[in-house]
Amino acid sequence: MSRVATSYLLTCAAIGVAGGVLLWAAGWLSTVLFATVPFASVALAGLWLLPATVALRLLERPLAGILVGVISGLVAFPFFGAAVWWALFAEIPFLLAIYRSWRTWQYYAGAVFVGIVYPIAAAVSFNLWSMPAWAVVAFFALTIVGCLVGVGLGILIADQLRRAGVARLARRRGLASRGLGRGDGPAGQH
């Protein structure tokens, strides 16, 4: 196994384990909130995007978000399905671009997309369609804002890790030097 593959897998594992600890706590907190104040539990939705966002932003490699989602899900085992489901939405904007573009807006597009899909998918659980119109709008808005904040935090963390030199060997090579990545120097170095 090459050093790049090993460093990539180890970086994903580290992000996944840290993300799993976060998601374990967020999952139980969401469960308690859902039982007491269901509406408030969606404010934590963005936390589910955070581990995959960190991985995708830091590594800029295909399926890094999904791999981190699987690892996070294994750590936060009762919430395995949720961890992978949210990671998929973080990955979708890059998959649609066939992993040739790693623009910041793509992260936020994924957040908005899942912020719209999640309330629809969970409408029965929240009894959403029986709420007044203003409450439905607020529910969607709270979910979208939570997702945008989670992605923004993930981008911030990944950018700080990149500046500190973390995962230098694991990052995708060549995109930035061809003008396709978000880096401004050879191989995405700043």
**Is 50 exceeded by the pLDDT of residue 176?**
no
Q: What is the mean pLDDT of the chain?
A: 88
Per-residue pLDDT of 26-42, as tens digits, reads 999 999 999 898 888 89
Label residue 147 by pLDDT band (50, 70, 90): very high
pTM of the predicted structure, to 2 decimals: 0.86
Task: Report the pLDDT value the prediction gives residue 188, as an integer from 0 to 100.
Answer: 44
Instruction: For the chain, give the percent of residues with pLDDT over 90.
Output: 75
Label residue 169 by pLDDT band (50, 70, 90): confident
**Is 50 exceeded by the pLDDT of residue 140?**
yes
Q: DSSP string covering the chain, please?
A: --HHHHHHHHHHHHHHHHHHHHHHHHHHHHHHHHHH-HHHHGGGGGGGTHHHHHHHHHH--TTHHHHHHHHHHHHTGGGHHHHHHHHHHHHHHHHHTTT----HHHHHHHHHHHHHHHHHHTHHHHTGGGS-HHHHHHHHHHHHHHHHHHHHHHHHHHHHHHHTTTTTTTSPPSTGGGT-SS-SSGGG--
Least confident residue range of 3-12, 36-45, 51-60, 179-188: 179-188
